[in-house]
């Protein structure tokens, strides 16, 4: 049955490793980033429990706050990592550490993004990943540039996913919002599809330059405006419509529907109007904007050290 709840948020932490790999050093650590997310989820759950036990929670307003906090805790559902053949960010040690940690912290699930190769599948099979998302992959690309052509590789993919599902991991295919590709994913026995939102995101940047980033929106408006589909430029709206139609088709087939690629606080609100989205997989924008929100605190740590350290 397709969920009518708000979509769950899965944080892609690949780009924590991207920064580390720029210097081939030990920080920042994807595992430490995961620990922060688990702690955040526990804080949200703890606040929810505290509100529930509060004598004031019988009041309608308190109940509303408690319900919203519960939804936030439930919505922070997991992390996503993409082990590429060239190990450009996440590497095998990261996979081992993250999987080991999550086996003891079941409140967060693991989504394992992967190309359709036997080498990467072998690594996936060592994990307790909740979901394996099969993506197209090219060493020449900076990031995944489009959805998988399932139809062209249907016979291979049908056999490729069987050991993954036998290992207790559900399968998703990362596809463009194309009806035929979604139908092919269903025919292969996948449980999910993740619709590629990169075209939508790129058009949004072109047509809405004043909202090109979360930081730009904050500088211009003092807050991130929550746009609706009706606020989108025509080309962006047409891609939004493609995604909405594709979601409806997938859900009619019984496929759970995820969205991912290029999603930000500024371009996400219209997509939240699409019914029954299961999961949102978001990484780059969250990691990028975390630099802004955490930069001042980290510089303060250095200033404190410089001014108190014995000489």
Q: Model's pTM, two decimal places?
A: 0.89
DSSP category for residue 213: S
- Phi, psi of 142, deg, nearest 5: -75, -40
Length of the chain: 311
Catalytic residues: 82, 113, 261
Angstrom CA distances, 213 to 13, 235, 284, stand at 19, 19, 12
CATH homologous superfamily for the domain 8-305 = Aldolase class I (3.20.20.70)
> pLDDT tens per residue, the chain (311 residues)?
444 578 999 999 999 999 999 999 999 999 999 999 999 999 988 855 555 455 454 554 555 555 565 667 788 999 999 999 999 999 999 999 999 999 999 999 999 999 999 999 999 999 999 999 999 986 555 555 789 999 999 999 999 999 999 999 999 999 999 999 999 999 999 999 999 999 999 999 999 888 877 777 776 667 778 899 999 999 999 999 999 999 999 999 999 999 999 999 899 999 999 999 999 999 999 999 899 889 888 888 878 878 886 55
Per-residue pLDDT of 245-268, as tens digits, reads 999 999 999 999 999 999 998 999
CA distance 311 to 299: 20
Peptide bond preceding 79 in cis form (omega within 30 of 0): no
DSSP 103-166: HT-TTSEEEEEE-S-HHHHHHHTTS--SEEEE----TT-SS--S---TGGGHHHHHHHTHHHHH
Contact 164, 125 (CB under 8 A): yes
């Amino acid at each position: 049955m397709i969920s009518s709840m708000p979509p769950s948020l899965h944080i892609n932490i690949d780009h924590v490793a991207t920064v580390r790999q720029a210097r081939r050093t030990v920080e920042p650590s994807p595992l430490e980033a995961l620990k922060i997310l688990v702690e955040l989820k526990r804080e949200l759950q703890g606040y929810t429990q505290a509100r529930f036990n509060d004598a004031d929670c019988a009041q309608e307003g308190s109940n509303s706050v408690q319900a919203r906090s519960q939804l936030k805790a439930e919505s922070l559902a997991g992390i996503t990592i993409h082990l590429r053949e060239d190990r450009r960010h996440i590497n095998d040690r990261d996979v081992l550490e993250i999987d080991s940690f999550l086996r003891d912290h079941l409140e967060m699930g693991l989504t394992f993004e992967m190309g359709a190769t036997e080498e990467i599948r072998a690594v996936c099979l060592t994990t307790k990943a909740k979901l394996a998302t099969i993506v197209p992959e090219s060493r020449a690309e900076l990031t995944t540039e489009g959805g998988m052509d399932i139809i062209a590789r249907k016979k291979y993919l049908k056999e490729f996913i069987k050991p993954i599902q036998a290992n207790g991991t559900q399968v998703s295919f990362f596809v463009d919002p194309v009806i035929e590709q979604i139908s092919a994913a269903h025919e292969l026995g996948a449980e999910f599809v993740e619709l590629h939102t990169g075209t939508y995101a790129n058009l949004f940047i072109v047509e809405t330059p004043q909202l090109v980033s979360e930081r730009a929106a904050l500088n211009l408006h003092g807050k991130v405006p929550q746009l609706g589909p009706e606020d989108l430029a025509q080309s962006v709206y047409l891609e939004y419509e493609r995604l909405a139609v594709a979601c409806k088709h997938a859900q009619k087939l019984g496929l759970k529907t995820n969205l991912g690629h290029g999603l930000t606080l500024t371009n996400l609100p219209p997509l939240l109007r699409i019914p029954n989205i299961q999961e949102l997989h978001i990484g780059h924008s969250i990691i990028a904007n975390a630099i802004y929100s955490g930069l001042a605190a980290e510089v303060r740590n250095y200033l404190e050290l410089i001014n108190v350290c014995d000489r």
